[in-house]
Amino acid sequence: MNDIQKIGFSVRAHRLDRGMTLQQLSDATGLSIGYLSNLEHNTNSPTLANIQRICDALDISFYSLLERNEEKSIIVRSNEREKLISEDSNMILENIDFGLENESFLYMTVEPGGIDEGLCWTHEYDEVGTVFQGRLVLELDNQTFELEEGDTIIIKAHTRHSYYNTGDISCISYWTRCKKTTNEG
């Protein structure tokens, strides 16, 4: 059964099949990267005019888009991870997208000395990270934590935080973001 509310999964699958980046799809459609990213995560609803622009850019029919929107990825190859941040501050942040509504996954590489001072993050979701290689220093509000290989940390929603690599080798970590859901009853 097709679900028009989840058409973004199909847009992303077709885009990746063609080896297109969000930037390339944005250039081809005239739609912003933010809009397309939100669409692919099904956090906004497209207009028919925008769907037609996307279909034209991907060289597919609207029917094709509807037929594929049920597909879920079960594997994301390393070369399929979408770079969200690259090279800036000696950090690479890659999205691992399985099309899940309430969870997302990130692969983060921070080079030695990497990430500019003063660069802080906050999120509206809890985030759990595990260091797989190297060493990562996290500042959470006014606390500092040093993570070694194998260490795991949770960063609660709305907590101001920053990352640093004070080691001699690249730090590689994996992050899971858990979006909060509300039950209506």
Closest CA to 54 of 84, 112, 108, 15: 15
Q: Quick check: pTM over 0.85?
A: no
- The tens digit of pLDDT for each residue in 65-76 reads 776 554 456 777
87 plus 155 within the same structural domain: yes
pLDDT in tens, 118-134: 677 888 889 999 999 99
For 136-166, the pLDDT digits (tens) are: 999 998 899 999 999 999 999 889 998 889 8
pLDDT value at residue 185: 42
CATH number, domain with residue 168: 2.60.120.10
Do 53 and 93 sit in the same domain of this protein? no
- Whether residue 3 is predicted with pLDDT greater than 90 in this model: the reply is no
Supply the range of the domain harboring residue 58: 4-68
Residue corresponding to tokens 């001072």: 117
Question: Model confidence at 1, in pLDDT bands (50, 70, 90)?
Answer: very low
In degrees and rounded to multiples of 5, residue 64 shows phi and psi of -60, -40
Q: Is the pLDDT of residue 82 over 50?
A: yes
Note whether 84 and 143 are same-domain residues. yes
Q: Count the domains in the chain.
A: 2
Give me the helices (H) in 30-129, please.
Answer: 33-40, 48-58, 62-68
| Structure tokens that stand for 72 in this block | 């879920």
